[in-house]
Structure 1
């Protein structure tokens, strides 16, 4: 199918329902939609990215967080549709559908993004701003540098944005600690 054909079949304005339908029809890509209506299409995670997410997921589970609290690739409604690599939810408040198949942010304690080539600006700036506006209390950005540096940010409601809550640490160090996001 040509780009012209795809473009001709695209709706004038993509909704969360459209986004969900595209994601359901194509398991080879991740689809996200900004609150302003900008559609992003990304390839699936590479093995290194997937391993980083799995290590963080296992760390939460082995430290007492339940499987309904720690979720991988759950779409969330932040005015658009975003899919953090990992999300952590309050005990007894797992993700629930809001609009379309995307979860609302009620009960969402933490969104984690592992920076990938091509998503650097989205992960470090765009999603950071969107998640702050949506009121998500914590946002972690995991770099793909030699130490897999983790920037742990906490929402400052008065500043209307995130601030560093702790010193930035390598993932290997973080995984030796006990998670505290609640």
Structure 2
């Protein structure tokens, strides 16, 4: 086991997105994210219940005409910090492109989806929602791992630059997967 002093000695005083990318590349057992304020989050890999939810939604988008260059899993995006949504959906001719680092900019990004993980509930439900709205991402969905696997869909209000929940509120994932994606 490594001591906190040993880990801290190797840490830069100010973590950049390039530092974040290097940390993620060196450690495949954790997910690294950086808030716009510079707060570093190190999370364990997703648990076995998380991956099938992401896979089901990914397959749903593909089955409904979105190409693999449009629907991307675990793509780091630059929202003033570095976040890694579970799924991103991009405009047809605007796939992810590196911005000021190896993280993709938000040009062409239509939707960010997070499956709420144990331990990151507040980050997924509130903090990322605020960051994604500020970055101008048109839609943000988060998936709760509750009894119905509820999908909370939000659309950016251009007048307030805040997300508003889609009329009808949260819907079960099973219902969502029986419809066509509504992303403009």
Per-residue CA deviation, residues 51-73 of structure 1 (Å, 9 max, x unaligned), is: 00000000000010000000000
2: CA distance, partners of 1:89 / 1:44: 24
Aligned residues: 182
Q: How far off its partner does 1:92 sit?
A: 1.1
Given the two structures, how large is their TM-score scaled by the length of structure 2? 0.97
1:71 paired residue number: 72
1:38 paired residue number: 39
Q: How far off its partner does 1:166 sit?
A: 3.0
Q: Show the 5 A alignment for 1:86-125.
A: 86-125=87-126
Segments ≥4 residues shifted beyond 4 Å? none
1: CA distance, partners of 2:52 / 2:167: 24
Over the aligned positions, Cα root-mean-square deviation in angstroms equals: 0.7
Per-residue CA deviation, residues 35-88 of structure 1 (Å, 9 max, x unaligned), is: 000000001111110000000000000010000000000000000000000000
Q: How far off its partner does 1:2 sit?
A: 1.4
Gaps of 5+ in 2: none
What SS does the corresponding residue of 2:136 show, helix, strand or coil? coil
Given the two structures, how large is their TM-score scaled by the length of structure 1? 0.98
1: CA distance, partners of 2:20 / 2:32: 7
After TM superposition, the structure 1 stretch with the greater mean CA deviation from structure 2, 151-160 or 108-117, is 151-160
What SS does the corresponding residue of 2:49 show, helix, strand or coil? helix
Q: Show the 5 A alignment for 1:1-80.
A: 1-80=2-81
1:175 paired residue number: 177
Q: How far off its partner does 1:131 sit?
A: 0.1
